[in-house]
Amino acid sequence: MKQMPKLNANLKAELLATGSVDVDASLLTGTSTSSAGPGTGLKSIFFTSGGHRVRLDLNKNSPLTMIKENNDFIILKDDKELVRGEIEPVLAHCPEQAYITLSERCIYDCKFCSVPKLQGRIKTLDEVVNIVEHAKKTGLMKAIAITSGVAESPEDEIERLVAVISALKRYNVPIGVAAYPTINSTKLLKEAGAVELKYNVETMNRDIFDKVCKGLSLNFILDSLRDAVPVFGKNRVSTNFIIGLGETDECVREGVEHLAKMGVIPVLRPITLQPLRKDELEATRPSAERLLKLALMTREIIDKYGLRVDVSQTMCLTCTGCDITPYRDI
Q: Give the span between the Cα atoms of 96 and 135, in whole angstroms.
A: 8
Smallest distance from the beta carbon of 193 to ligand SF4, in angstroms? 19
User: Per CB under 6 A, does 73 bind ligand SF4?
Assistant: no
Q: Measured from the CB atom, is 53 or 111 closer to ligand SF4?
A: 53
Q: Which residues pair with 202 in a beta bridge?
A: 241
Minimum CB–partner distance for residue 122 and ligand SF4 (Å): 20
Listed as own residue / partner, the contacts of 162-165 with beta carbons closer than 8 Å and 24 or more positions apart are: 162/188, 162/189, 162/191, 162/192, 163/125, 163/192, 164/102, 164/125, 164/128, 165/189, 165/192, 165/193, 165/194
Using CB under 6 A as the binding rule, whether residue 198 contacts ligand SF4 is answered as no
CB 105 within 8 Å of CB 62: no
Nearer CB in complex with ligand SF4: 102/316:
316
Does position 327 interact with ligand SF4 (CB under 6 A)? The reply is no
Pick 185 or 200: Cβ nearer ligand SF4? 200
Distance of closest approach, residue 28 Cβ to ligand SF4, in angstroms? 17
Q: Residue 311 Cβ, how far from ligand SF4 at the closest point, in Å?
A: 17
- 94 is a contact residue toward ligand SF4 (CB under 6 A): yes
In this structure, what are the phi and psi dihedrals at residue 11, rounded to the nearest 5 degrees? -70, -40
* Strand ranges for 251-300 from DSSP E: 265-270
Q: Which of 316, 324, 326, 327 binds ligand SF4 (CB under 6 A)?
A: 316
Pairwise CA distance, residues 221 & 258, whole Å: 13
Of 322, 324, 328, 330, which lies in the binding site for ligand SF4, with binding defined by CB under 6 A? 322
Shortest Cβ 306–ligand SF4 spacing (Å) = 24
Question: Beta-carbon neighbour count of residue 293 at 10 Å?
Answer: 16
| In the complex, least distance from residue 195 CB atom to ligand SF4, rounded to whole angstroms | 16
Q: Specify whether the CB–CB gap between 302 and 163 falls below 8 A.
A: no
Decide if residue 99 touches ligand SF4 (CB under 6 A): yes
Q: Does 52 bind ligand SF4 (CB under 6 A)?
A: no
Write down the least CB distance from residue 55 to ligand SF4, Å.
5
What are the angstrom distances between the C-alpha of 235 and each of 63, 68, 90, 178?
37, 39, 26, 15
- Rounded distance, CA 243 to CA 268, Å? 6
| Interacting residue with ligand SF4 among 37, 116, 174, 244 (CB under 6 A) | 37
204 binds ligand SF4 (CB under 6 A): no
In angstroms, give the least distance from the CB of 177 to ligand SF4: 13
Q: Measured between alpha carbons, how far is residue 316 from residues 20, 97, 125, 126, 239 in Å?
A: 18, 10, 23, 25, 10
**116 in contact with ligand SF4 (CB under 6 A):** no
Number of residues that bind ligand SF4 (CB under 6 A): 11
- Name the residue nearer to ligand SF4 (CB basis): 75 or 91: 91
Judged by CB under 6 A, does residue 93 bind ligand SF4? yes
Binding status of residue 319 toward ligand SF4 by CB under 6 A: yes
Is residue 146 close enough to count as binding ligand SF4 by CB under 6 A?
no
The footprint of ligand SF4 (CB under 6 A) covers: 37-38, 55, 93-94, 99, 315-316, 319, 321-322
